Structure 1
């Protein structure tokens, strides 16, 4: 029965806001008018205003409850006078009743007329109030990916409608930035994937065209194809990691930062020896919550970047610890001088210093670091070292300090020196 009643109410309720506002204005006016009519009727009915005179020259109100009646009908002059007075009093009561009925009817007619006028005025006022909303709705409907740069740019007093328009403009600005980043990301990814595909096509074509090809030439071409295929696989793996980390964490796990740090450093010490780069590690146990695989990938990318962009005889300093109530992973390296104004750009996809084709690096390492940090509610800062190289620090919430985020928390403000990196997710 309740569901049937709710369904009936839902069907009878107007769907347009303007109609609902008009009905609300009309109902409020009718209710206020009815209350005012009832108060007026009560006050008028309480005091009749009809005055009669007694035989002795006194006066009484005919409508008063304590009015003294004339003597009843009798044989003397006073009896006849009392009969006349009683007739006048009854006539006054009938006249008062007719006047009250006439007042009620006339007031009801006036209330009905004003109710119609109130509904009409309510319709006009509701349309005037909702006009800015209709304008904003029409503008938003016209905005698409091609003209996302347009804004509502509402003018007027700083009221709720102005706040709504400014909020929508801010949302459109963030959407425009995200779309631009997405376009750049797709263009860069297509370029990075097209280069190895072109090389593979050239190698295969060369093998087919060369009629004097030997087994050794076939083997050399196949080795180059295999190397190119491995580069493509690493690129696709990096893209998948970047995409997966931006969705946030579904099931964070408790872990100690020292465990993935030791794994990463142990696996990369041979390469550091081949490059002539020394690694200095200060690893302390630090409890956090998050995805162990993603955190290990973050550390691996930092160390790989520090080893690749280094100089013979250089060094890499790797540190885990606690600072200002946050779990900190810090990686510093020597190397070529990095312009301070280019530091933030290095954390964008496919951006790198000293770009070299075919070096096996696609410029996704630091962008993956930033994306994983955002997924863990971590703050990522970086600064260019005056003597060359880069210093990167990632600070995670300690376990028990709210835990790692689920991808919906905003990273806290970066602490310490350095330039704060953009905290938005990569496109």
Structure 2
């Protein structure tokens, strides 16, 4: 059932404006003659003759006909207001009908309202922009679920093969069992890290951030000291960089950046890490990164040189961006001319 509340309100508003204006006019018609007759004095010179008197107007004019006209005006204005309001609200009803038929299956459709740029056109363009963002979010979610299912299915397949191998091998030894169990433990640890990364990514995208003062320089120093950087030249420029955020998520962000710089490096390569007011920058040497591939590195499960069993799920930089976004920080990345990547995270500073 179509609701016409707004249309009725607009029509009543136009009607009330007309009735109010007409009432003010009637009041003036009643008050002006009385005002003009009050205090009026007539001086008679000579002999007064009543037949020579000039009428000065009725102080109480008959307002019956104007009142009837005002009532008719109210009815006519209400009808016209109803028609005009319907005409004005027709684009809104059209947009509402089209939006009712848009769901997750056809979120790619748009209102595409044409015509001069006015408030309704701006509203339609805003809704189209929202639909576009929802479309991209749904696509990203579908890709994420598909990639997550693939990443979880692969270790399950390997586990099944490792468990089945000694059962079908009549000559299996204790050493082969031990070797398979060690590989199963490694796969289980890898899957646990994947689930932990997925949970971190989901929690950071919720945007529930606790406000705690954190020094990025201290966090960076602690993380680097806990990492094995043998064979790499590490250069640091640590300056106080206080921000407000969640300590656990910020530590995860810095750890992921450092792990990415260490893992995707070359033997004898270098890592440069710097903190300054409200920002953290980490650069490394490594394989050449095409400029058009930089943004895709921050998508879940995307790796530039994909290796299935390298122990990395391709969630590191996507978690970095999700945590940065939750802290209203800006993440920028650019490829280095000689190979490698430079990533800077800039946090808002009061």
Asked if TM exceeds 0.5, the reply is yes
- Report matched runs for 1:198-213 at 5 Å: 198-213=157-172
Deviation at 1:204, TM superposition (A): 2.1
Q: Which residue of 2 aligns with 1:250?
A: 209
Q: Which residue of 1 aligns with 2:148?
A: 189
Q: Which residue of 1 aligns with 2:120?
A: 161
Q: Deviations over 1:105-127 (max 9, x none)?
A: 11112221221111111111111
Which runs of 5 or more residues in structure 2 are unaligned? none
Deviation at 1:69, TM superposition (A): 11
Query: 1:169 and 1:214 mapped to 2: Cα distance?
Result: 65
Shift of the 200–42 alpha-carbon distance from structure 1 to 2, 3 Å rule, reads same
Residue 24 (structure 2) pairs with residue 35 (structure 1): yes
Q: Which residue of 2 aligns with 1:302?
A: 257
Deviation at 1:195, TM superposition (A): 0.8
Shift of the 151–70 alpha-carbon distance from structure 1 to 2, 3 Å rule, reads farther
Query: 1:19 and 1:70 mapped to 2: Cα distance?
Result: 67
Q: For the Cα contact (< 8 Å) 1:249–1:291, is it kept in 2? A: no
Residue among 53, 66, 78 paired with 2:42? 66
Number of aligned pairs?
A: 347
Query: 2:286 and 2:331 mapped to 1: Cα distance?
Result: 21
Query: 1:33 and 1:149 mapped to 2: Cα distance?
Result: 52
Which runs of 5 or more residues in structure 1 are unaligned? 1-13, 49-63, 73-81, 403-427
Residue among 3, 11, 14 paired with 1:22? 11
SS at match of 2:75: helix
Which structure: larger Rg?
A: 1
Query: 1:304 and 1:16 mapped to 2: Cα distance?
Result: 60
SS at match of 1:268: coil
Deviation at 1:205, TM superposition (A): 2.5
Q: Deviations over 1:15-34 (max 9, x none)?
A: 81111111111111111112
Residue 330 (structure 2) pairs with residue 371 (structure 1): no
Deviation at 1:335, TM superposition (A): 1.4
Deviating more after overlay: 346-355 vs 38-47: 38-47
Q: Tell me the TM-score normalised to structure 1 length.
A: 0.74
Q: Tell me the TM-score normalised to structure 2 length.
A: 0.90
Q: For the Cα contact (< 8 Å) 1:246–1:375, is it kept in 2? A: yes
SS at match of 1:254: strand
Query: 1:125 and 1:182 mapped to 2: Cα distance?
Result: 45
Deviation at 1:222, TM superposition (A): 1.4
Q: Which residue of 1 aligns with 2:270?
A: 315
Q: For the Cα contact (< 8 Å) 2:232–2:271, is it kept in 1? A: yes
Q: For the Cα contact (< 8 Å) 2:209–2:326, is it kept in 1? A: no
Q: Which residue of 2 aligns with 1:149?
A: 108
Shift of the 97–389 alpha-carbon distance from structure 1 to 2, 3 Å rule, reads closer
Residue among 386, 394, 404 paired with 2:345? 394
Shift of the 207–119 alpha-carbon distance from structure 1 to 2, 3 Å rule, reads same
